[in-house]
Amino acid sequence: MNIYISSAYHAHSKAAERARELRQLGYVVVSSWHDIPFVTDEERTEERECAAAQMCLTDVLSSNVLVDCGDFGQSLTGGRHSELGIALVEGKPVIVVGESRNVFAFHPLSVRVSVWTEALRELAEIERLGF
């Protein structure tokens, strides 16, 4: 099962830790934004942002499920909310970890959990159902 990890960009290293954990559990993590070096606000350019948007879109589309790590804090850029919407448009299940102010976190394809261990159980159930 291919998993896309979404989170606030400032939680880059925490998302990378979760990706490593999921890979150790045998999942395929297709999100790649957290595996490339962190880019500071000063280093951001229009060209970099365009490439990042294209990369993330491709990665979300190649996933079977999106895990939104809202427990890492609010997004300042809004990218994770876009990724969640793209997943829903594509009919992909979404697991929202922690609180979310995004109305689409309450969509029928979204499951809300409080903590990471609950998300792992949901992933196992989604895999069992054959997504």
Q: Count CA atoms closer than 13 A to 68's CA, side-chain side.
A: 33
Taking every pair of C-alpha atoms in the chain, what is the biggest distance, in angstroms? 44
Give the position of tokens 């792992």: 120
Total number of domains constituting the chain: 1
Beta strand 110-113 with 94-97: parallel, antiparallel or unpaired?
A: parallel
DSSP 36-87: S----GGG--HHHHHHHHHHHHHHHHT-SEEEEEGGG---SS-HHHHHHHHH
pLDDT at 10 (0 to 100): 87
pLDDT at 39 (0 to 100): 86
CATH number at residue 95: 3.40.50.450
Render pLDDT for 87-102 as a digit per residue (tens, 0 to 9).
999 999 999 999 888 8
Amino acid at 12: H
* Domain enclosing residue 74, as ranges: 2-128
- Label residue 15 exposed, middle or buried (CB < 10 Å: 0-12, 13-18, 19+): buried
Render pLDDT for 64-83 as a digit per residue (tens, 0 to 9).
999 999 888 777 677 889 99
Render pLDDT for 10-53 as a digit per residue (tens, 0 to 9).
898 999 999 999 999 999 999 999 998 888 888 889 999 899 99
pLDDT at 102 (0 to 100): 85
What average pLDDT does range 104-118 have in this prediction?
96
Give the position of tokens 């589309």: 61
